[in-house]
Homo-oligomer: A and B are copies of this chain.
Amino acid sequence: MTKPVVGSMTAMRHLNTTLVLTTLRAAPGPVRVSALMRETGLSRPTVEALVDSLGGQGWVEASEGRPQSGRRSPGRPARTYAFNARAGWVLGVDVGAHKVSACRADLRGRPAAWARRAVTPATPAADRLSAARAAVDDVMAGAADAPVLAASLATPGAVVPHRQRVLLAPALPGWDEVDFGAWAAGFLDCPLDIDNDANLAVLAEQAVGVARDRADVVFVLLGERLGAGITTGGRLLRGQDGAAGEIGYTRLPPHVRPPAGYGPLEAHVNAHAIVAMVEAELARPEVPADSPLRRRFAAGGPGDRLPALAASARDGDPAALRVLRTLCGRLAQGIAPMLLVLNPELLVLGGGVSSIGDVLRAPLSAALAEQVLFPPELELSALGDRAVVLGAVHAALARFEDTILAEITA
């Protein structure tokens, strides 16, 4: 749209416009012109002209009232200005094996609506897309007041950069044939980015989770599948084929073959493997018949098994603790090479298994300290099963910042 004028006055105007706008956006509440002058280093007439212009375009709102109810100062009361976070929406969608989630958020990243739909790993690609479309329609209901400015979609598998296609998603039938760009063109009039779910989860942890202000972070997404999202220097590491962080496919000594569709390491530590470990432990003769783990494990349904393990471990049941030690040993051995290669400052554990993260933390830390030269800090995901969809929201937000903000002229 705007021609790429370099070094001219209009370029400076652009710079100053986005400078003022981003300063306003970073502020928690309304800001007076004097504060903007201080923050941006610009003069009063300049700042006023810019906020006027931005106000005319709807990006900024003038709030006549008090700055923010803080201390009153002498002198003529200041008009204050605030970034209009409702000037548009961003959309995050997480298309997973078992569920599809969507979240609509304002331009500050504050969620305004959530939706989810259940699917199964066997759901055909077309139906999965329909579920995603339905979730998007849900969150967009009654939000026609402002346009969607950017959207981002999370999916398992490797997302080929710049191609909007998925590789390596053997668990989802037909998923590698979907053209997401064409799909979204039907109902979304905004840029759409596709990315791997673990990649987006690490972005979420950086934006609003436990990895705030951390540059080199590894997010391990462990549930039925195993994958990692990696940032280096604050930037996402995607790799040539979008397959960076696919540690589930790490080779293991070939005693056992993984089930079709799973990587060797993945099948060795995922939720199924944990259940199998418990069963193997319970089959040992020295485990008493009234072991808490045995009782709890028999009592619940399939969804209660991991919590049963965690509860027994919290009670100090030696059998449960042994299982956790075994699991953490395997996990540590699997991710140690990654930590050696990346030397990150923080390792975040997320995904379904992180629901029992509190009992994993100590044994995993111990196992990592043995295996890794410089072990990173270990944290549990703060965002639960919303990490991925929140990551999509923040990826869309980043797209808004990079692309849309740059096009705003004044």
Chain A 13-28 against B: per-residue CB contact (8 Å), 1 yes, 0 no?
0011001000000000
With A247-B337, A337-B247, A338-B337 already in contact, the answer to whether A239 and B12 are too (CB < 8 A) is no
- Min CB–CB distance A49 → chain B (angstroms): 12
Q: Which residues of B are found within 8 Å of A239, using beta-carbon distances?
A: 216, 342-344, 374
Q: Which A204-230 residues have C-beta < 8 A from chain B?
A: 216, 228, 230
A42 at the interface (CB under 8 A from B): yes
Total interface residues on A, using CB and 8 Å?
Answer: 52
Given A7-B40, A41-B5, A42-B7, are A240 and B374 also a contact pair (CB < 8 Å)?
A: yes
Q: Which of A72-131 contact B (CB under 8 A)?
A: none
Q: Are A343 and B244 closer than 8 Å at their CB atoms?
A: yes
A15 touches B19 (CB 8 A): no
Complex Cα–Cα for A216 and B161 (A): 13
- B228 adjacent to A240 (CB under 8 Å): no
- Is there an interface contact between B233 and A376, defined as CB atoms closer than 8 Å? no
Contact check, B241 vs A341: say whether CB atoms are below 8 A apart.
Answer: no
Encode A240-251 as 1/0 by CB contact (under 8 A) with B: 111111110111
CA–CA, A273 and B374, complex, Å:
26
**Is B240 a contact partner of A343 (Cβ separation < 8 A)?**
yes
Residue of B nearest to A376 (CB): B240
List of B residues within 8 angstroms of A242 by Cβ = 343
Q: Is A235 an interface residue (CB 8 A)?
A: yes
* Inter-chain contact B41/A6, CB cutoff 8 Å: yes
CB of A11 within 8 Å of the partner chain: yes
Query: Once the chains are docked, how many angstroms separate the CA of A379 from the CA of B331?
Result: 33
Q: Are B233 and A235 in contact (CB-based, < 8 A)?
A: yes
Q: What B residues does A246 contact at CB under 8 A?
A: 340, 343, 373
User: Is the beta-carbon distance between A241 and B337 smaller than 8 angstroms?
Assistant: no
Residue of B nearest to A217 (CB): B240
Task: Find chain B residues with CB under 8 A from A238 CB.
Answer: 343
Q: What B residues does A401 contact at CB under 8 A? A: none
- In the bound complex, do residue A344 and residue B240 qualify as a contact, i.e. CB atoms below 8 Å apart? yes
Minimum CB–CB distance for A233 against chain B, Å: 6
What is the CA–CA distance of A230 and B233 in the complex, to the nearest angstrom?
A: 13
Minimum CB–CB distance from A376 to chain B (whole Å) comes to 7
A16 close to B12 (CB less than 8 A): no
Sample 30 A-B pairs with CB under 8 A, ordered by A number: A4-B41, A6-B40, A6-B41, A7-B12, A7-B16, A7-B19, A7-B40, A7-B46, A9-B12, A158-B343, A216-B240, A228-B341, A239-B343, A239-B344, A239-B374, A240-B345, A240-B374, A241-B343, A243-B374, A244-B341, A244-B342, A244-B343, A245-B341, A245-B343, A246-B340, A250-B336, A250-B337, A251-B333, A337-B338, A341-B342
Known: A239-B344, A341-B342. 15 other contacts (CB 8 A): A7-B12, A7-B19, A230-B341, A233-B237, A235-B235, A240-B343, A241-B343, A244-B342, A246-B373, A247-B337, A249-B340, A251-B333, A337-B338, A338-B341, A341-B341
